[in-house]
Amino acid sequence: MEETLKKLPKPEDAIIENPELYIIVRSTPNKANIIWQDIVDVNKVYKALQYLKNVNEHYAYIKLTDLPNQLINIHENIQQNVTNTPDNTEEGILEDGTAALLTQITREKETDYEHYTIYPLNERRQNAPASELYQMLKVNTAPIDARDKDLDVKCFPHLYVEGKYGQFHNRQQKVTSSEFIKARLMSKHPQFRLNQQYLFFLLNDANMRQLNSGIFFKMNCANQRDKITVERYLQMLKNDELEGDLTAIFGRLRNTEQFWKKPRNDVNCMTQNYDPATWFLTMSPSEWMWEDFGEYIRQVNGVKMANKIISELVALDPVSTSHIIDNKFHAMLDLITSSDEPLGKIIHYVWRREYQSRGAQHFHLMLWVKDAPILHK
């Protein structure tokens, strides 16, 4: 932040009275050449940092000015401190080799966005031309080590305000990763499951744990806490014990080819032994027609979702949406396989869950009915 502030103008150089300082944040373009744009109010950032400095141990040593408007007056010799070459200006490189987070917006740089459609998520500002002078750069500094035990509390200070009680917090009662994630997502406090970035963070964590499990299995290591020596690893590498079929490594990683190999083989085996399935069903949710669905989502998330339509509720709370649809699917499956036998006596079945582009899930089922006639026989 200190190096970033060197790129801001001094108060006496303001082109308007009472300037408002905003930072434009633009997303990476998607396949449709669409960019989402939002702004960050420096006053709110200052208040957040001030609060975190007092309550969060990871922010205890940051240096702040007395007032937010003094942030742009920390360094006076701006022109002397910032290298003026085009390449360095674009990358935000200062003479001491450190990187800044802001770059000045010029007409030349705005032409880079002519081929994209920019959707602003913010309301129009009173001093819009002045507030568009600066834009955030990509952060190229060294990332936090992914093995850091405090990675979640450092990346999500707005969720872990005190900087503790993360996934690997030293608890008296040990909890597994799956138990911790379930407790967070199913908590009555919705801030965890409503944060899309946190959900993807947990997904990445689950993928890494599945990969680690596959690697330990491939290396014949029964206990993940066992340390494999360099000598043993080199010997395994020499004997080609780590080469060959990747099923052992990726077999537990969902949606990989190796993951679906076993379910696919199971279905082929069932078809060969039980003949073709009697029924192939696809169950898709009609959440916009479920009154109880909208009522539940609004109830568990409070008044801030009181006026949201169904499609917005699905997008904002995918965890609760999946939970409701999953319960309804299993209720339907219990009915199909019950003693009432609405489709006949089900002796075997297999099902698969898929997600649609709108964020909801649907299910494919194969059902084998006892004594059902088989076509062409």
CA–CA dist 319, 186 (Å, integer):
8
Confidence band, pLDDT 50/70/90 cuts, at residue 77: very low
- Whether residue 175 is predicted with pLDDT greater than 50 in this model: the reply is yes
| DSSP secondary structure string for all residues of 307-328 | T--HHHHHHH-HHHHHHHHHHH
Confidence band, pLDDT 50/70/90 cuts, at residue 117: confident
pLDDT, greater one: 58 or 134: 58
Average pLDDT score over residue span 284-292: 86
| DSSP secondary structure string for all residues of 48-68 | HHHHHHHH-GGGTT----SSG
Pairing relationship of beta strands 346-355 and 361-369 according to DSSP bridges? antiparallel
Query: Looking at 58-72, 130-144, 162-176, 234-248, which range is the least confident one?
Result: 130-144
CA–CA dist 222, 236 (Å, integer):
16
- Whether residue 183 is predicted with pLDDT greater than 80 in this model: the reply is yes
| Percent of the chain topping pLDDT 70 | 70
Q: What angle do CA 270, 272, 275 make, to 5 degrees?
A: 85
Q: Which residue has the tokens 């920390």?
A: 74
Q: Which residue has the tokens 């073709």?
A: 276
Average pLDDT score over residue span 297-309: 87
**DSSP state, 3?**
H
pLDDT, greater one: 366 or 105: 366
Please tell me the predicted confidence (pLDDT) of residue 234: 79
Confidence band, pLDDT 50/70/90 cuts, at residue 239: confident
Tally the residues of the chain. 377
Average pLDDT over the chain, rounded to an integer: 77
Please tell me the predicted confidence (pLDDT) of residue 47: 87
Parse the chain into domains and list their residue ranges: 2-136, 151-243, 275-369
Among the ranges 7-11, 90-94, 211-215, 277-281, which has the highest mean pLDDT value? Answer: 277-281
pLDDT in tens, 349-367: 999 998 877 777 899 999 9
pLDDT, greater one: 328 or 147: 328
Lay out the sheet containing 134-136: strands in order across. Answer: 102-104, 134-136, 22-26, 34-41, 117-120
pLDDT in tens, 197-230: 999 999 999 999 888 888 777 776 656 566 667 7
| DSSP secondary structure string for all residues of 93-138 | BBTTS-B-SEEE--HHHHGGGTTSEEEE-SPPPTTHHHHTTEEEPP
CA–CA dist 251, 265 (Å, integer):
13
pLDDT in tens, 315-329: 889 999 999 999 999
Please tell me the predicted confidence (pLDDT) of residue 191: 92
Please tell me the predicted confidence (pLDDT) of residue 244: 58
pLDDT, greater one: 136 or 254: 254
Please tell me the predicted confidence (pLDDT) of residue 357: 72
Q: Which residues contact 106 (CB under 8 A, 6 or more apart)?
A: none
pTM: 0.73
The helix (run of H) or strand (run of E) holding residue 63 is: none
Asked if residue 23 lies in contact with residue 39, where contact means CB atoms within 8 angstroms, the answer is yes
Q: Which residue has the tokens 């801001």?
A: 8
CA–CA dist 73, 5 (Å, integer):
8
Backbone angles phi, psi at 354, to 5 degrees: -135, 150
Please tell me the predicted confidence (pLDDT) of residue 159: 93
Give the dihedral of Cα atoms 315, 318, 320, 324; nearest 10 deg. 90
Backbone angles phi, psi at 368, to 5 degrees: -110, 120
- Whether residue 37 is predicted with pLDDT greater than 70 in this model: the reply is yes
Q: Which residue has the tokens 């600066």?
A: 134
Asked if residue 107 lies in contact with residue 101, where contact means CB atoms within 8 angstroms, the answer is no
Please tell me the predicted confidence (pLDDT) of residue 8: 58
- Whether residue 84 is predicted with pLDDT greater than 50 in this model: the reply is no
Backbone angles phi, psi at 351, to 5 degrees: -140, 160
Q: Which residues contact 128 (CB under 8 A, 6 or more apart)?
A: none
| For the chain, counts of helices (H) and of strands (E) | 15, 8
pLDDT, greater one: 69 or 161: 161
pLDDT, greater one: 261 or 64: 261
Average pLDDT score over residue span 241-252: 71
Please tell me the predicted confidence (pLDDT) of residue 94: 42
The helix (run of H) or strand (run of E) holding residue 300 is: helix 291-301
Asked if residue 136 lies in contact with residue 23, where contact means CB atoms within 8 angstroms, the answer is yes
Distance from CA of residue 361 to its chain's centroid? 18
Beta bridge partners of 351: 365
